[in-house]
Amino acid sequence: MLTVALLVRLAAIGAARGHPLVAHPIMDARGYHLWAAEIARGDLIGRGVFYQEPLYPYLLGGAYALFGARPIVALVFNALLEIAGLVLLHRAARRLFGATAALLALALAAAYGLFLFDVIQVGKSSLDLLLVSALLLVVVRADRGNEPRDGSRWLVAGLVLGLGVLNRGNFLLVAPFVAGLAAFRSPGRRASAAALVAAGAALAILPVTVRNALVGRDFVLTTAHGGFNLYLGNNERADGASKRVPLVRENPEYEPDDARVVASRAEGRALRQSEVSAWWARRALAWIAAHPADAARLTLRKLRLLAAAYELPDSVDLRFVRTSVPFLALPWVSYGLLLPLGLLGVTLAAFTRRPISPLPLLLVAVTLSLLPFYVFARYRLPLVPLLIPPAGFALATLARGARSRAPAALAGLLIIPGMALTEIPPSGVDRSFAVSEANLANVLAEEGRLADALAASERALAARPDYLNARLARAGLLRRLGRAADAETELRTILAADPQEWYARYDLGRILLDRGDAAGAAREFTEGTRVWPAEAQLHFALGVALRRDGRAAEAIDAFRAAVAADSALDEGRWNLALLSIEAGDTTGARAALEELRARRPEDPRVADALRRIEAH
């Protein structure tokens, strides 16, 4: 069975590897790929505190160091992670439900469609399968230990839980449940059992905490995005999934800085990442306190999303990839089958008095750990390894007729309405391919396939006319295709809907600058810097526009602001130096050039400009 499971995953990789959204990682996948590549090149420490969970990138970085930093290596690595997870899941299911149920559970896991999809995405979901299966196995073993020496198994359970936290931050909320189980199941040594769970988790987590303190000079337990994620799931715009926050771009490449700038501006000072996270968390909690009824309805909606068969996507939709990868479109096992089947298995185990107490507890704990945040298919995925063993037990029970044929038949009938309920789509969920099409447009644009990219962006807008990223993609493509007037129309449409979209204003200013309207470009860039003063490129573009408009003194101020916003912006320093020379400010010019020479000693332009200043 494991050999078949591996072959199926390798077949999925072979079938999908040519798809643009698989061959070119985007969003979180791109971030993990680049991070792992840096680790493979020897950057083991990194910079600042961790914003995203580090375990998967470090493991992937090891694979990249051995086999090369290519996405195909990540996909094969994912497949091997899943096979290891299937081994542990089978062992856990065998301990809980016996050999037959374990074999059926293994078959269900091997054929679960989203597991296959996770293999072909650079991301930590395949590691989720391994870690949750490991946690289930070690907790079951610890729960069934009767000897005093078996208490050490709770240490192992804590260690696995801590590794889970380093892959999914919400698993920190699972820790009290596991510690509580350890205490409850250890009469006479309750405190020590719970302490062993805590100690095991600390063994995994504390090295990351210490690293954050030393490198980032900030106290962050694991990652700094918890507060922002809490806000994403709890605010006036929240709908249970992730909704865009004004001024924070929906891209992990920019999200940390954008979230920090918004919080820092609100507080009137530069905030550390721990303070940024706390600021967003306070906003979320304040909204919950001020709107308890709305928060309760939102929680019920999250539960509804957790129970829906629809695999709610974030950056790439499984259904979208299936349209061009027939192998993934085969009738694989779905969440809509696993959820009712797994819950039926838990119910049947209760009726037959089978001792499976750790499993329902973990199901409840993981569910509760998700509710404070928001729901996507990959975020609820840790529930799936916990549903599969009881699903296998339900199938085994139905197959042998349980105690008599009538109860088994009745139990089997319960699956039908359960599946029907999960198939009812939650209201207000966007089931279009707009997000996937817009992301495809960006990937095709990177490949130079501009006409195909434009078509993808237009399909995205046809599916969802209000989708900002699709409009931005279309505007950029129109500009690259020489259709500046159409691009300008698109950008003005965006700004009419929301004048705060500074990156649309930046693109509009560039179009006006290309047209020769330096004054108009300067107006757009000035408004952009008012909305988002932290963006160096806006200040730099403003400096260029002002210089072309003959406003040298203002241009000098703009270039100074650009360098202040990004100390690595050497072109800003160069333009600042040139304008200072033209204005007769040799002191300012010399200072800018000396900074440039320290950063780029090999640049002949710098030495020549300094000689000219000295000559005068």
Question: What domains appear along the chain, each with residue ranges and CATH number?
Answer: 2-140+327-423 (no CATH), 519-616 (1.25.40.10)
Q: Decide if 546 contacts 509 (C-beta within 8 A).
A: no
- How far apart are alpha carbons 37 and 47 in whole angstroms? 15
Residue 388 sits at the vertex; the CA angle it makes with 383 and 389, to the nearest 5 degrees, is 120
Helix, strand, or coil (residue 54): coil
- What are the Cα distances from residue 19, in Å, to 28, 130, 326? 17, 26, 12
Q: Which residues does 404 contact at the CB level (< 8 Å), separation at least 6?
A: none
Q: Which residues pair with 112 in a beta bridge?
A: 333
The rounded average pLDDT for each run of 10 residues, N- to C-terminus, in the chain (616 residues) is 93 94 91 95 93 96 96 96 97 94 96 95 95 95 65 90 96 95 83 92 96 95 94 92 83 88 92 95 96 95 90 89 93 93 89 80 95 91 96 88 54 64 76 92 94 95 91 93 93 91 92 93 93 90 92 90 86 83 79 80 76 70
Structure tokens at 511: 């179009």
- How far apart are alpha carbons 379 and 281 in whole angstroms? 19
Q: How far is CA 614 from the centre of its chain?
A: 53
What is the pLDDT, as a whole number, of residue 166?
97
Residue 280 sits at the vertex; the CA angle it makes with 287 and 382, to the nearest 5 degrees, is 90
What would the DSSP string read from start to end of 277-307? HHHHHHHHHHHHHH-HHHHHHHHHHHHHHHH
Q: Decide if 378 contacts 118 (C-beta within 8 A).
A: yes
- How far apart are alpha carbons 327 and 11 in whole angstroms? 8
Phi and psi at residue 112, in whole multiples of 5°? Answer: -75, 125
pTM of the model: 0.90
Residue with tokens 């300067």: 522
Q: Which residues does 265 contact at the CB level (< 8 Å), separation at least 6?
A: none
What is the pLDDT, as a whole number, of residue 319?
92
- Residue 89 exposure: Cα atoms within 13 Å on the Cβ side: 34
Q: What is the dihedral of CA 213, 216, 218, 220, to 10 degrees?
A: -70
What is the pLDDT, as a whole number, of residue 113?
95
What is the pLDDT, as a whole number, of residue 588?
79
